[in-house]
Amino acid sequence: MANPLADCVSSLRSSNHLLGNSISILDSGVNDFPRLAKVLQTTKHFELLPSSALSAAQSQLLSSLVPEFNNLLARVETHLDRLERREQALVARCELLDGRLSMSGEDGEAMKKAAGIGRKSLAAEGDVSREALKLKQLRAKKERLGYTVERLGLQAQQKERQLRLSVAAQ
C-alpha cells in the first residue's frame, strides 16, 4: 500500500509544482498588466468635427478678419494718397525753383548788360543816367512781379490738384 500512496504523493507534488509554475507565469503577466493596459488604451489624436461646425468656425474667422483687412487697406490707401500729394508738392516746388533759377540766369545777364550801359551813360550824361537807373528799377520790379505771378500760378495748380484728389477720395 505504500506504493499507491507514494504514487499519490508524487502526483500531488508534480501538481503542486505545476501550480507553482502556473502561478509564477500568471504573476509575471499580472505584474505587467498596468503597462499593457496603458499601451493598449486608445487615445484620440484627432477629433472629427461635423462640417456645419467647421463652416461656422470659418465664417466666424472670416467675419473677424474682414474688418481688420479693410481697416489696414484703408490705412495703406490714406498713406499712399499722402505720399502722392507730397510727391506732387515736391514736383511743383522743384518746377518753381527751376523756373526761378532759369529766370535768374537770364536776369543776371540782362542786369550785367544794363549795368554796363548804365556806367557808360553815367559817364556821358546825368539825365540819361537817372532814366537808366529808373529803367533798371522798373525791370527789376517787373521781374519780381513775374516771379510772384509764376509762384501764384504754381500754387493755384497745386491747390487744384489737391482739390481734385480730395474730391476723388470722397
pLDDT in tens, 142-169: 888 888 888 888 888 888 888 888 787 7
Banded model confidence at residue 108, pLDDT cuts 50, 70, 90? low
18: three-class secondary structure by DSSP = helix
Task: Specify the pTM.
Answer: 0.35
Q: Is the pLDDT of residue 128 over 90?
A: no
**Rounded Cα–Cα distance for residues 79 and 87 (Å):** 12
The predicted-structure confidence for 78-105, as pLDDT tens digits, reads as follows 999 899 888 888 888 888 888 777 776 6
Higher pLDDT, 68 or 29: 68
Q: CB of 64 within 8 A of CB of 145? A: no
User: With 60 as the cut, is the pLDDT of residue 124 above it?
Assistant: no
**pLDDT over 90 (residue 137):** no
pLDDT at residue 122, as a whole number: 46
Residue-level pLDDT at 148: 84
Query: What would the pLDDT profile of 18-41 be if each residue is shown by its tens digit?
Result: 999 999 888 877 887 788 778 788
- CA-CA distance, 52 to 73, in Å (whole number)? 31
Confidence of residue 2 (pLDDT cuts 50, 70, 90): low
C-alpha distances out from residue 136 to 61, 91, 130, 149, Å: 76, 33, 10, 20
